[in-house]
């Protein structure tokens, strides 16, 4: 049985030990969530032994979101990061596309097909040329993730997350 302590809770008065038991001949690749602080810990186990354990999800761009980004949109980026870690790249870019669409709705653009929303946001002055370019790129990858049979590679998914965070920070300036 593997015994861990959450790195976020460690040293605090309420830190709990996490016990992980895997008695079968399998490989486990997943995310452990501390029930005390909700911190997520990526883990890989093989035949009951820990093969890799990280302190946090890799590439957590959501930490760099401005505080003015709405909580539900931040949760979409966090979900995109979990999907990326789990090698679900189409789901990752689809969540970034969703964050883009919700951010435009929050900024007063009527919900309709995303391309039309981007045009309206540009003509109204909400999106400048640089942010429009980022947004159309996010939409393009999101469309692949949702509507097409093409593959998204890991580096593309990471780049879409980074681009989405950058665009959101421009839209929701603190």
The per-residue pLDDT for range 105-144, each reduced to its tens digit, is 999 999 999 999 999 999 999 999 999 999 999 999 999 9
Domains of the chain, start order: 2-53 (no CATH), 61-171 (1.20.120)
Cβ-contact 96, 138 below 8 angstroms:
yes
Contacts 24+ apart (CB under 8 A), 141-148: 141/93, 141/96, 141/97, 142/93, 142/94, 142/96, 142/97, 142/98, 142/100, 142/114, 143/97, 144/90, 144/93, 145/89, 145/90, 145/91, 145/92, 145/93, 145/94, 145/97, 146/90, 146/94, 146/97
Q: Is 157 left (phi over 0), alpha (psi -120 to 50) or beta?
A: alpha
pLDDT score of 75 more than 90: yes
The mean pLDDT value for 60-69 works out to: 91
Question: What pLDDT score was predicted for residue 7?
Answer: 77
pTM over 0.85: no
Residue with the bigger pLDDT between 83 and 31: it is: 83
The mean pLDDT value for 21-35 works out to: 77
pLDDT score of 54 more than 80: no
Question: What pLDDT score was predicted for residue 1?
Answer: 66
pLDDT score of 14 more than 70: no
pLDDT band, very low/low/confident/very high, at 97 (cuts 50, 70, 90): very high
Percent of the chain with pLDDT over 90: 55
pLDDT score of 13 more than 70: no
């Amino acid at each position: 049985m593997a015994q861990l302590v959450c790195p976020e809770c460690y040293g605090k008065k309420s830190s709990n030990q996490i016990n992980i038991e895997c008695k079968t001949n399998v490989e486990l690749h997943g995310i452990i969530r501390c029930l005390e602080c909700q911190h997520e810990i990526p883990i890989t186990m093989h035949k009951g032994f820990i093969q890799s354990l990280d302190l946090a999800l890799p590439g957590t761009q959501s930490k760099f979101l401005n505080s003015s980004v709405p909580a539900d949109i931040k949760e979409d980026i966090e979900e995109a990061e979990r999907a990326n870690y789990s090698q679900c790249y189409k789901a990752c870019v689809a969540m970034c596309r969703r964050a883009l669409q919700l951010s435009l709705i929050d900024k007063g653009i009527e919900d309709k097909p995303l391309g039309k929303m981007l045009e309206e946001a540009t003509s109204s002055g909400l999106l400048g040329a640089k942010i429009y370019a980022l947004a159309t790129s996010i939409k393009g990858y999101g469309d692949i993730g949702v509507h097409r049979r093409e593959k998204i590679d890991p580096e593309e998914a990471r780049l879409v997350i980074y681009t989405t965070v950058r665009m959101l920070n421009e839209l929701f300036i603190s």
